[in-house]
Structure 1
């Protein structure tokens, strides 16, 4: 009984100490200093709608991005509906006013290439409302927030200044390709007189190729050392395809096989969401993105669409170097990272949820009573509290303390975010 009582007392003391450390209020002087700096450097944004007729609020980007070539647009989590709308408006502005004509997604290189080709040629006869499903994960096209942007992409294809779409991920991303992958691969091999008989495992299982992104299916279908042999067959095919004539189609299939092999290897080897898995993927996404920037879209201005975490321009942990760090290290000030954050989000009943902890800077953002604003951290004096360490929920809604100005160049704030909604 005494032992139980002792344990209970220790637990209560621990909770009290934890509450004082984590949930203590910011001293009033520090709070006011932070609010003053936010008010001083914030640039109000009037709307997040692509149809908003007055772009005077976005002209701040003209000077911010004057020497820029690469803009990385993040998002806190993938179902932030208001963030998607804001990104759509920014992309439209950058395309029509600042000469950005390439948008590269955190989505499969091959999948987004197929989507881009379909928007131009319509060879697969995919309905316009579903065409985003060839290349993108569903949260980037299958909702009312993203459909205006998908329509805008398609509209530009018939203009004198079309947007080119691509990707840099190693993953399969297009649901509309799920049942088409096998046939498209077989048609490509057949057209190029590539016999699959010397590749017995791939030849046997090619009709199930989409299912190998599931670890359980792969383990059941390829027992023993067959998984390694399967990966080796894909590598051998990649080398064979790389020796074909250097057409755009042959090049993308070479990369497709390379990414496929690495994606399967990642899924089968690492625990999903682990730092090892993230590091493996980001290092390969960086290689793909650099290839796109330097070789596919030379000297063109490029928008990169991904999550906030992948935009980070500094090491996240000892085990994980984000994609943005590779890009910032290579392109320096020619790259600009914009991350999105919010104070709260309304659930389906209209109730605010996921509010930040007491120490998070989002509380100060909320106190400005400004629905949307942008802060350019790059040109703020080093003496500003915004250039020092502070707590933010900008990484997947979790309270984290970092010198955030080292991780991204600008913050786009949306006071109340929303969930994605059906476009039916």
Structure 2
């Protein structure tokens, strides 16, 4: 009986040892090695007064003046809180002065009416940004913080977007300039009719329509020479650019390229500027040549630093089968990035991927390979994980052990 029991124990030990050696689970040696590159975070709550745990960001970011903050889903409360806590630190302690996010540029820019001029309703502005993603208590709390910050400092924050999925806000703001200056509305009315009558759905406008629209926009852009206020002039011209981009977008390839161009426009037009870029992990990634982050990195190189985000289990707000609500996430499977990080038994931390990559030690080689990593966005019906090389995608990875759904401001 004792021999049989001993054999069972020996078999179990061998099984788990082999599984760890095959890369399904980290060995104790691998865990000890990876902890050298971990910086614990005390909390994800933006309201905390002690930011000692975030001081390492000064070292990580250095002189870079574009920081990409990702997200593994568009609906995790803890991820958004952590992003906003980090953003507050970057603004207060590292002098970042622009916060931009993955939302339509003209509609997002209206948030400056609230945070800088104390006019308009922040809820209405968030609602006007179309998607439910930012219509949350987490984002509302952050923009309220931005307003208070702007009231009490000379380092004023500009709020902006860099997306172009809709033309409505851009065209409205162009038309407002026409109305304010009593310009004839013939060209504007023609644009409205063409864009409305040729609604593209998920496909770009036909080349013939694009040509007609661009000719009209050429005529509209000539009005810029009559606009005296420089801020109004550059926004007028950028709104025309947003419409041009919108009619060309036919896939994530062109959308991400245009988003990168819009981030570059923000950087160039508000100089000196230090820009926070908030978007999905995929968009801020440096590794994928289709992503916005890839294009930003190609131009700005060491001036662009990015942080991916990951969580092990929980739930999140999502849109699946046209239903917006709370959905249970897949618990990270054995062998995934999140499973390995969760095995370290630390609730929140930053993983220094740049240092691991530079060290190039065999004990950390799982970080340098393509292994499962959560890629959910606004909702994934089936498998939430895709094989990803996180060290090529991000400079740093922020891990949170458990996610809960973001808190929507209204019911859907």
TM range (shorter): 0.7 to 0.9
Q: Which structure 2 residues correspond to residues 127-276 of structure 1 after superposition, within 5 A?
A: 127-135=121-129, 137-140=131-134, 142-160=135-153, 161-172=155-166, 184-198=173-187, 201-202=190-191, 204=193, 214-215=199-200, 228-241=211-224, 244-245=227-228, 247-266=230-249, 270=250
Partner residue in 2 for 1:16:
none
The answer (yes or no) to whether the contact 1:25–1:359 under 8 Å persists in 2 is no
1:369 paired to 2:345: yes
The answer (yes or no) to whether the contact 1:112–1:136 under 8 Å persists in 2 is no
Partner residue in 2 for 1:285:
259
* DSSP 3-state at the match of 1:145: helix
* DSSP 3-state at the match of 2:103: strand
1:325 paired to 2:310: no
CA change 1:362–1:257 in 2 (3 A) is same
Partner residue in 2 for 1:31:
26
The answer (yes or no) to whether the contact 1:115–1:135 under 8 Å persists in 2 is no
1:350 positional shift: 10
1:415 positional shift: 0.9
| Superposition RMSD in Å | 3.3
Q: Which structure 2 residues correspond to residues 355-366 of structure 1 after superposition, within 5 A?
A: 355-366=331-342
Distance (Å, rounded) in 1 between the aligned partners of 2:299 and 2:193:
42
* DSSP 3-state at the match of 1:126: coil
CA change 1:217–1:347 in 2 (3 A) is closer
Distance (Å, rounded) in 2 between the aligned partners of 1:198 and 1:97:
47
1:252 positional shift: 0.6
Q: Which structure 2 residues correspond to residues 11-160 of structure 1 after superposition, within 5 A?
A: 25-27=19-21, 31-32=26-27, 33-122=29-118, 125-135=119-129, 137-140=131-134, 142-160=135-153
Distance (Å, rounded) in 2 between the aligned partners of 1:290 and 1:306:
15
> In structure 2, which of residues 262, 279, 283 is the aligned counterpart of residue 306 of structure 1?
279
| TM-superposition CA deviations, 1:94-145 (whole Å, max 9, x none) | 11112112111122222222221343234xx5224434345574312x2222
1:170 positional shift: 1.9
| TM-superposition CA deviations, 1:237-271 (whole Å, max 9, x none) | 235436744621121111112112321332xxx3x
CA change 1:412–1:216 in 2 (3 A) is closer
* DSSP 3-state at the match of 2:166: coil
Distance (Å, rounded) in 1 between the aligned partners of 2:186 and 2:284:
43
The answer (yes or no) to whether the contact 2:191–2:216 under 8 Å persists in 1 is yes
| TM-superposition CA deviations, 1:66-117 (whole Å, max 9, x none) | 2221110011121122111111111111111121121111222222222213
* DSSP 3-state at the match of 2:152: coil
The answer (yes or no) to whether the contact 2:103–2:162 under 8 Å persists in 1 is yes
1:166 positional shift: 1.5
1:376 positional shift: 1.5
- What is the TM-score of this pair, normalised by structure 2? 0.79
1:296 positional shift: 1.9
* DSSP 3-state at the match of 1:300: coil
* DSSP 3-state at the match of 2:314: strand
Partner residue in 2 for 1:7:
none
Distance (Å, rounded) in 1 between the aligned partners of 2:115 and 2:197:
28
Report which stretch shifted further, 244-253 or 333-342.
244-253
